Amino acid sequence: MKIDRRLFVNFDWILLFIVMAISGLGLLNLYSAGFNLAGGRGEPLYIKQIYWILMGLILMVAAFSIDYHIIIRHAYTIHAISLFLLFLVFFVGNITHGSQRWLVFYGFSFQPSELVKLTMIIALARFYKDNQIDEGYYLRNALILLFIIMVPFLMIMQQPDLGTSLFLALLFFTLVFFMGIRRNIVISIAAVSSILAPLLWFIMKDYQRERILSFLNPERDPLGSGYHIIQSMIAIGSGGFFGKGYLKGTQTQLKFLPEQQTDFVFSVFAEEWGFLGVFVLMFIFLSLILWGFKIARNSRDLPGTLIAFGVTMFIFWEVFINIGMVLGLFPVVGIPLPFLSYGGSSMVILLTGIGLLMNISMRRFVLHP
């Protein structure tokens, strides 16, 4: 297959540099978060994360090598595969901490719900391509869109994984509103959602309700459900302006901070690098998000714009929710911090999404087949 040389001329080195910079900071942070956690058994967390980054880079190359128009053409098939994997979790999924979310392949654990976040974006781009209506979407199309979100939403809820299911819904509605939808449909969906929202309280598991109550008042159970938030805020506040220094965070190294390698990895960073380090990290994240919006704006067609916007909002919402969570502004819902939290599924899918951004950026001046 002949490859257009203009693709290499237009390769997005800036995007790659930004992502590798965040991932590099993530590895340094994981080394600190995982310090002595291995206890002499197995590989340190940062080494395992390097493996996941390498695997993600391979998929990133695959994602930008195939013309995104071809990917959109097969979007429904790709999304159906992700839903099948999600369905498979109920039969052969690995159960950890009472949740059945992971598939295990030859010793590697994979979370299909992370893949669904990305394939849903691609499926919506295909839907938008096939159903462009100048005045917005009619009710029939709105119902089809709701069906697209309800299937994975309900399956993820049953795992149970309330945080990921709500995140998927948030990402979905962000993209639908970006695509354009009539005002009366928005009002109808909002009204129905408002009526059904209280039912979530009765669907939630006991520990999920405890997280909500602890978010509203962490002091009600300081050694139980409120412990995570309290220790996180102590770690962040104790970092001050310059931080305590690398590998010198007391909350981190004395293991007072729970889940410090995953959900609360930002607290580790803030304690050791302080406000100044957090400012630098936020500046790099902001650069990534603005660069993603630039790619969306400069895309040569609307499906490419939607994918670029979707991947960018995927990253934005995860950063926004995770940091709000560790600051006690949101309930603890298990949303990772992109490129920093330990986890193979998240890292691989995020890098694949970056590959799609590169795909759209590289082909903005190249005619598609």
- The mean predicted confidence, pLDDT, of the chain is 82
**What's the pTM?**
0.88
Continuous H helices in 158-198? 162-179, 183-196
Contact 281, 269 (CB under 8 A): yes
Could you tell me if residue 43 is inside a domain?
A: no
**What pLDDT sits at residue 42?**
47
- Say which amino acid occupies 354: I
Neighbours of 331 (CB within 10 A): 21
Least confident of 272-276, 297-301, 325-329: 325-329
Please state, for a pLDDT cut of 90, what percent of the chain lies above it: 41
241 assigned to some structural domain? yes
Give φ, ψ of 117 to 5 degrees.
Answer: -55, -40
Residue 28 domain-assigned (yes or no): no
Give the pLDDT score at 281: 96
Kind and range of the H or E run holding 109? strand 108-110
For the cut 50, the answer to whether the pLDDT of residue 40 exceeds it is: no
Residue 164 pLDDT > 80: yes
Q: What is the pLDDT of residue 38?
A: 46
Tell me, yes or no, whether 104 lies in a domain: yes
CA–CA–CA angle 324, 179, 76 (5° rounding): 95
* Tens digit of each residue's pLDDT (9 = 90 or more) over 330-353: 887 888 999 999 988 999 999 999
Domain that holds residue 304: 74-335
User: Poorest-confidence range of 108-117, 177-186, 240-249, 298-307?
Assistant: 177-186
Contacts of 110 (CB under 8 A, 6+ apart): 85, 102, 103, 104, 344, 345
pLDDT at 1: 44
Residue 342 counted as domain residue? no
| Residue 111 resides in a domain | yes
Lowest-pLDDT range, 54-58, 189-193, 285-289, 322-326? 189-193
- Domain assignment present for residue 42? The answer is no
SS3 5: coil
Number of domains the chain is built from = 1
**Is residue 326 a part of any domain in this protein?**
yes
CA–CA gap between residue 27 and residue 5 (Å, rounded): 34
Tens-place pLDDT, residues 198-209 = 666 666 666 566
Predicted confidence (pLDDT) at residue 51 exceeds the cutoff of 60: yes
pLDDT for res 157: 83
17 vs 180, which has greater pLDDT? 17
Please determine, for residue 84, whether its predicted confidence score (pLDDT) is greater than 60. Answer: yes
